[in-house]
Chains A and B, each alone.
Chain A
Amino acid sequence: MTEPASLARSLLEEGRVEVVVGYRPGTLPLRARPHFAFSPEQAAQFIWDRTCTPDLTVYLPRLKGRRVAVFVKGCDARSLVVLLQERQLSREQLVVIGLECPGVVTPDKLPPEQYQALTSATVEGEQVLLRGGSQLERVPVEQLLADPCRTCQHPDPVIQDYLIPTNCGRREREDPYGVVAQFERLEREERWVRLEREVADCIGCYACRQACPLCYCPDCFTDRFQPRWVGPIWSTSDALFFHLARALHLAGRCVDCGACVRACPLGIDLRHVYKRLEQAVKERFGYVPGLDPEAPPVLGTFRPEDPGDFIK
């Protein structure tokens, strides 16, 4: 029986790991939260359902050198692969508990007023039951599905030692680059205006960076004093520079887990930028990040046949 709590419990009981990183119910509707279990008793709280959104591999570099078991969905498994490719972790320290993922739900899909008015919510099959005081509403999971899940090509973990299967049906995948095409249809000037408008609300809290498992640099370019690339006092131009530079640093690495968008308190969504970079890397180098732990990182490798047409 592969049930999250009992699996975690036995891993801890057998002393195979020091800590298990998984999910437990949150204090808000539709929000499971990270849980760290160091003892078999603490393992009782683990859950796995469609509210388990956080990409827990973000915690792994901090736990470097310790024996850790981690729950990963399809996208999280790919972040993990990138971390392994980039030598941030060693496979030996890890026990990977794969979660076959039917897609996760996000409260961001509800109007803020509606979400704020909820007191609880439960996912029942393909329905989400929303309760706000005495009010009860049923909405299809489909309506609350996170954007990356709609186009996810790898819902089953590409790396795992244990697998927790899903009994949910799989949905049809949408065009992964639809969001890019939509943006590219706009005039050049309009695209710039949209980008500026998207980041104008940015307060510089770096929640996107901190929630990203692949933004693990101990010394981010934003944290350098000499030269000082951004800030320290935040303006729209700093915000734009930060977001675009971060996107470039994730080219060929981002696995579209969606953590950055969900983490943003202001709801800034630059997924189309990240997807465009993903698309460009795929077209030029035939490379999809996070599938093979042995593959060299695409932008850390030179091959004579690499396209060089950008050199004018």
Chain B
Amino acid sequence: MVPWSAEDGLDLEGYRNTLLPPKEIFFPRWEPMLRYSGWGRNLRWEEVRAPSAGRPAVLFGVRPCDARSLTVLDAVFQDDHPDPYYLQRRRAVVVVVLACTTPGRSCFCADVGGGPADERGADVMAAELEGEIRMWPVTDKGAQLLAETGWEPDPGGRELLEQHMQRTPTPAHGVPAGRYPEALEGRFEDPVWDRLHLPCLGCASCTYLCPTCHCFDVADETSDGGGLRVRGWDSCMFALYTLHASGHNPRPSVKERFRNRFMHKLSYFPKRYGLLACVGCGRCVEHCPVNVDVREVMKELVSDVQS
């Protein structure tokens, strides 16, 4: 995602999706939380926000899978102790979702309860139909944006998109997502993990490219006479993620971390929030250095139950 100005024009030719998911707009890789200064008795601190926080913006061209990922992130960041940093950004940004009229080869949103015209997470829905961009509001925030920018609401667009979708292949690969989380009950000790984790290198590319992964680390970055408490992305695939100060690590090897990642997406998260933490965007499929394919893992976990 890059800043856009009117002179840039709009070229959607060949656009499938962004490499990085839109989560970084709401949950940046690096974000200051507090500023501190002084020391000992004279230590002071206060809340700070990054200059980009709360700046009104329109996010254009978000794909429906990624828009739905925002509802997953909302569940976490709104839960009980609302996260002001995330929510401030969320309030300030209008999400314009571009329906997928030609889904990609690794997309499986329809398997995990979404779809190429899914409106969840969208403020405004847009679709490129017959060479024209059609837009219609989904939320009040979206309606306000369209009103302010002088776009005529286009109720016919939705119908036209539905018609188009009937002629378009569904982004589904037979991933039995409907069987989760139940299919994973009692599977923690299952020998299947011994096999499935083997190719995994233990890097964090899947988690960093994942639109729903939201784990973060917090650290103090000190410079002369003070510093910033900042947060940024962290990954359950790293050994340090769970390493105790005593040296004990409850998830000491790739196997435990791999298992936790899939269990979290398909079992733990759904049990806690009632949502699968996978929206089928296919980024991890496309970019895993060793082609660990989440679609196959999800299928194998279920096929082992049947056998």
A residues adjacent to B (C-beta < 8 A) = 26-28, 31, 33-36, 54, 58-59, 62, 112-113, 116-119, 203-207, 209-211, 223, 225, 231-235, 259, 262-263, 265-266
Contacts and interface: CB of A to CB of B under 8 A. Distances in A.
A203 B233 contact: yes
29 contacts: A26-B291, A27-B285, A28-B105, A28-B285, A28-B286, A33-B199, A33-B290, A35-B199, A36-B195, A62-B254, A113-B15, A203-B20, A203-B233, A204-B29, A206-B204, A206-B238, A210-B202, A211-B203, A223-B238, A231-B219, A231-B232, A232-B219, A233-B219, A233-B230, A234-B30, A234-B233, A235-B30, A263-B203, A265-B19
A36 B198 contact: yes
A231 B290 CA distance: 26
Interface in B202-247: 202-205, 207-209, 217, 219, 221, 230-235, 238-240
What's the interface size class on B, roughly? 35 or more
A265 to B, nearest CB: 4
Contact of A262 (B19, B20, B29, B289): B289
Contacts of A225: 240
Nearest to B200: A210
B205 A207 contact: yes
B68 interface: no
B209 A265 contact: yes
Nearest to A42: B195
A234 B203 contact: no
Contacts of B209: 265
Nearest to B295: A27
A36 B199 contact: yes
A137 to B, nearest CB: 15
* Pairs A-B, 6 closest by C-beta atoms: A233-B232, A263-B289, A210-B203, A113-B14, A33-B291, A207-B203
B104 A116 contact: yes
A33 B288 CA distance: 10
A118 B104 CA distance: 9
Contact of B291 (A28, A119, A259): A28
Contacts of B14: 113, 117
B129 to A, nearest CB: 20
B201 A207 contact: yes
A34 B290 CA distance: 7
B19 A263 contact: no
B170 interface: no
A219 B295 CA distance: 32
Given A209-B203, A231-B219, A234-B232, A265 B287 contact: yes
A252 to B, nearest CB: 24
Contact of A207 (B204, B234, B240): B204
B44 interface: no
Contacts of B199: 33-36, 59
A33 B240 CA distance: 27
B16 interface: yes
Interface string B96-111: 0000000011100000
Nearest to B241: A232
B154 interface: no
Contacts of A234: 29-30, 232-233
